[in-house]
Amino acid sequence: MLEALQTYPCFLWTAVVLFTLMLGSFLNVVIVRLPKMLEQQFKEECQSFLETNAGVETSHTFNLAFPSSHCVYCRTPIRFYDNIPVFSYLFLRGKCRHCHKSISPRYLVVEGLTALMGIWCALHFGISTAALIAFSLAMILLVLTFIDFEHMLLPDNIVYLGLWGGLLGSALYPHLFIAPKAAITGAVIGYLALWSVFWVFKLLTGKEGLGQGDFKLLAFLGAWCGAAHLPAIIFIASTLGAIVGISLILMNRINREQPIPFGPYLAFAGWITYLYGSDIQQWYWQIVWM
């Protein structure tokens, strides 16, 4: 079937776009529901610890599959024809068909970015196993990016999925990943790098400048990219974060004391470094030693 699709590039790229759009729709489900699931789990653990049912709802099931997609305002179930990635959002002009309340543009952005990254991977690696691996990394980073933007949270289960994916991939398929030793070293150094920054900053200022999820995310990226690329990842992420943070302060969108998530900038830097690591590493050291 793949050979038939490659014979007709138009059908091949149409299949890539449709496949990635559907996955983008699923990523939206994860982004919306996983933080709520974690909150519910936390409440249930507190309830169990305190041996009380006060204020904790346990009468309904809530996970990635149930309940079915519905409007968050009027609770009306969303029909399949209103749940087509990108097209339904545009056709409905970003509003619920029933109550006409606005639908978050994040749905459109995530679906569009997922398709864009799928095409990017296919162009960079060709239609291959390497492209699927890169796209898997992209999806994990997209989920972490949007959850961190909205909740200042990097869920352990998603971060560990990426971390162990990199470590196990390097052990089982070193021809598609980096060498196992490089992956382990990258993960350890990645974690310790931001852990050290965290404690130095806290000792000097008495404040926490980073979240612990950022340590784990850089360990995850180190397992995929290797320790040699960590300086470039940190440099790119810090530069982007500083530019965005300063811009928001100048526009009076935030104040100097208000934290901003660092995970999205680490994710972007890690993704770019995974694809173009050698070129970025050469460029980075040229800047450092100018």
pLDDT over 70 percentage in the chain: 93
Please check whether residues 277 and 144 belong to one and the same domain: yes
Domain coverage including residue 260 = 128-289
| Number of domains observed in the structure of the chain | 2
| CA gap 73, 71 in Å, rounded | 5
pLDDT band at 108 (very low <50, low <70, confident <90, very high): very high
Residue 5 maps to a domain = no
Residue 3 maps to a domain = no
Please check whether residues 113 and 140 belong to one and the same domain: no
Please check whether residues 52 and 137 belong to one and the same domain: no
Q: Who has greater pLDDT, 68 or 124?
A: 124
Contacts of 147 (CB under 8 A, 6+ apart): 31, 34, 35, 153, 154, 155, 158
Q: Are 182 and 227 in contact (CB under 8 A)?
A: yes
Residue 1 maps to a domain = no
Q: Are 220 and 266 in contact (CB under 8 A)?
A: no
Average pLDDT over every residue of 252-270: 92
Residue 146 maps to a domain = yes
What is the CA angle 263-124-191, rounded to 5? 30
Please check whether residues 155 and 285 belong to one and the same domain: yes
Residue 8 maps to a domain = no
Please check whether residues 192 and 64 belong to one and the same domain: no
Average pLDDT over every residue of 135-139: 98
Average pLDDT over every residue of 116-136: 95
pLDDT band at 148 (very low <50, low <70, confident <90, very high): very high
Q: What is the pTM of this model?
A: 0.91
Please check whether residues 47 and 191 belong to one and the same domain: no
Please check whether residues 135 and 278 belong to one and the same domain: yes
pLDDT at 4 over 90: no
Please check whether residues 249 and 143 belong to one and the same domain: yes
Please check whether residues 142 and 169 belong to one and the same domain: yes
Please check whether residues 260 and 284 belong to one and the same domain: yes
Give the tens place of pLDDT for each residue, 170-226.
999 999 999 999 999 999 999 999 999 999 999 998 888 899 999 999 999 999 999
Count of CB atoms situated within 10 Å of the CB of 235? 16
pLDDT band at 61 (very low <50, low <70, confident <90, very high): confident
Give the tens place of pLDDT for each residue, 8-31.
778 888 989 999 999 999 999 999
Please check whether residues 152 and 281 belong to one and the same domain: yes
pLDDT at 155 over 90: yes
Residue 7 maps to a domain = no
pLDDT at 55 over 70: no
Residue 123 maps to a domain = no
